[in-house]
Structure 1
Amino acid sequence: MLDGRRKSIQPMAERLPDGNMQALQQFVNQSPWDPLPVRRRIAERLSEAIAPEVWVIDDVSFPKCGTASVGVARQYCGTLGKRANCQVAVSVHAATDTASCPLEWELFLPEEWADDEGRRRRAGVPDGIGHVSKLHLALGLVDRLAGQGLAVPVIVADAGYGRSVSFRLALEERGWSYVMAVDPKEIARPAAAEPFQPAYGGLGPPTLPRYREPARPLASFITPDTSFQQVAWRQGSKGRMTSRFAVVEVRPSGKEACRTAQEQAGGRSRWDGVLPLRTLLVEQPEDTDEPTGYWMTNLPAGTPIADLVRWAKMRWRIEHDYRELKHGLGLDHFEGRTWRGWHHHVTLVTAAQAFLTLRRLDPKAHTPA
């Protein structure tokens, strides 16, 4: 938290009157302390202090040179907006409109690392850690936090996660609510659509119930007759932030949605063909000719639209987190190469940001460990 542009080990040690670079290097990169109990305590303390309305799932990238840093590969780098040599981490943040803090992290291990024993050994990747998709990493992080006894609020994510029907269904199976950005090309059917049962032809298994009309993209559900209303969701630097929003009920109809509906019904032969209703939130500002944002939620359509909008838009808070974590606290300044060192580094940076968050919430209060 001290001044100084670089927050890697050497410049930090040099800024301290009694700085010991070797000791700091040992503490971050080689020391065997377990970061998970530290992050667990941070999550408990910050959840109590913030009382989050949402948990935001996201991923962040760290541009790197060379091939030795754990998890580094040529992949899409959000920081640079293109494919580049980088690390990628998945995170879960607690957030309200006034405060936020990361609760958990996991480093994404690209497929090329999975079976490269020499590379894994040099970077200290633990046995049992392999290539897992970012979606599964995110689900595992939320499972871990819920397993600690933390109450799971509404889960928010961008379209990188929300466009996965299987990810949304996995959240539903756990009984969690979400508001997630989705791709307007995702297909669905109208809420009033009903399947019919074709007559049995006498050969083979009975034909499954089906809908008469084909599924169509979400964007097609917004017509000139769609009723939009003005909604304000928070105070911005230039005044109250407002836009026009509409709520439409749809039946997501992709292959994943149909397959999961069959499984939940007890199998293909027992499915009645009815796809579940979901709520689609759409934003179309006054000065645009078409929508600019789509969010899918498993909350009922009767949920106050102001709440849906506020939760959907609350993802902005983590941009504040990343700005402070990267530019103020050195999240992307780690120069080590090991799995353990990376997790130690992000844990210490998270602790620093948690401390600052608690001080902002109550500047006069003593901040316990």
Structure 2
Amino acid sequence: MEHVEGWAEELAALTGGLGHLFVRQEPQEAFADLIEGLLSDLGRKNGWTMAGRAGHATPHRIQKFLGEASWSANGLPAEVQAYEARELGNPSATLVLDDTQVIKKGDKSVGVGHQHCGTTGDVRNCQVMVMLTYAAASGHTFYDRRLYLPQSWTGDREPGGRSPRRGRLRHQAAAGHHHAAGRVAGGLPFSWVAIDADYGKDPALRSWLHGQRIRHVLAVPVQGPPGKPYLPNVAAAGDLLHYATVHEQWERRSQGEGSKGQRAYDWTWFEVTLPGQIPADGFVHQLLIRRSTEKKQLADGRVDFEYAYFLVHAPAAEAIVRAGVRWKIEENNELAKQITGNVRPEVTVN
């Protein structure tokens, strides 16, 4: 926390420069106390502990700010994004798109419902947020977010008997498209987009990235028989995997630095043709296959290598490192939990 404490002066300058978001000075001061408390080294973070740290006799000021204050909460993300662009903006940066889930017990938090939870792999009572991370050479951080509202909140009904999970992915892909399109329109500098599996299989999002001539690496989920990826138009993907194994066409490379050191995997890649989707001028399609360095016990009981598939659209083979950048969004989630402790400000309904 020594590094965080060194931010005190800059943090005060940042929160002090947001006066235009507040109607009165008192909520701005309570906001600054709340942010400092969340970033502090308090063992347990709640209204009482953060109030005590700020020198308040009771948590009333912070609680009143969270529940009643008049201020432009919607204007805050724009201020944060402008700060991030100034501090981290780099033309070689990567936009990383994924969702995260928060498991809940109650039913008052906006968007909470019994829905598929990627964190646990089953149906849970949770919230789902579509997240966008900006990853540059000098650092990475959350840049934007959209809260997914399940059918129980919107009253929507899936046509044609579609499953709730299919509908969720369709709406999340639309939110992801909005994320990326907004960043292009806003002039945020970046050169690559890295997207996780649930979004990588969405043809509309892939088509839009093609049309914008944006380099991208999309994780592609494995479905059906072992080794056959979810890309119906790449019918020979299983054969390519077999070919690489028989001919030992694998290269061991690092996907980037992890919490336990370099994340090394075996890689192979092939230029592929996707019927109905022609690469942009000067670009090629590649199917990038990643294999674990050792065999593992798989979910179906087999002992085998773990494989992951990535669809790449780019003018050059730069995708291995970019595929690893996807994990920056997980690091952001973990770091946010560690720093802010047990407190998660929520929007509730009566």
TM-score normalised per structure 2: 0.69
Task: Compute the displacement of 1:180 (Å).
Answer: 1.2
Alignment correspondent of 2:197: 159
Alignment of 1:334-353 (within 5 A): 334-338=345-349
Name the stretch that deviates more: 23-32 or 54-63.
23-32
* 1:245 correspondence with 2:272: no
CA distance in 1, matches of 2:217, 2:343: 29
Task: Compute the displacement of 1:285 (Å).
Answer: 4.3
CA distance in 2, matches of 1:241, 1:165: 30
Task: Report percent identity of matched pairs.
Answer: 23
CA spacing shift, 1:286–1:17, aligned 2, 3 Å: closer
* 1:90 correspondence with 2:112: no
CA distance in 2, matches of 1:240, 1:63: 31
Aligned AA for 1:279? Q
CA distance in 1, matches of 2:144, 2:52: 30
CA spacing shift, 1:9–1:65, aligned 2, 3 Å: same
CA distance in 1, matches of 2:291, 2:230: 18
The alignment of Structure 1 onto Structure 2 pairs a total of residues equal to 278
SS in 2 for 1:89: strand
Give the number of the structure with larger relative contact order, counting CA–CA contacts within 8 Å between residues 6 or more apart.
1
Task: Compute the displacement of 1:337 (Å).
Answer: 0.8
CA distance in 2, matches of 1:93, 1:331: 22
Alignment of 1:72-221 (within 5 A): 72-96=112-136, 99-115=139-155, 133-184=171-222, 185-187=229-231, 216=235, 218-221=237-240
CA spacing shift, 1:22–1:218, aligned 2, 3 Å: farther
CA distance in 1, matches of 2:307, 2:138: 25
CA distance in 2, matches of 1:217, 1:8: 55
Q: 1:295 aligns with which of 288, 296, 310?
A: 310
8 Å Cα contact 1:92-1:103 kept in structure 2: yes
| Structure 1 residues without counterparts, runs of 5 or longer | 117-130, 190-214, 265-275, 340-369
CA distance in 2, matches of 1:228, 1:242: 12
CA distance in 2, matches of 1:112, 1:6: 34
8 Å Cα contact 1:60-1:88 kept in structure 2: yes
Post-superposition CA distance 1:91-118 (Å, at most 9, x none)? 10111466211011111111111149xx
Aligned AA for 1:245? W
* 1:17 correspondence with 2:39: no
8 Å Cα contact 2:255-2:323 kept in structure 1: no
CA distance in 1, matches of 2:195, 2:342: 21
Post-superposition CA distance 1:59-79 (Å, at most 9, x none)? 111122222221111012234
SS in 2 for 1:245: strand
* 1:29 correspondence with 2:48: no
CA distance in 2, matches of 1:277, 1:136: 25
CA distance in 2, matches of 1:110, 1:323: 25
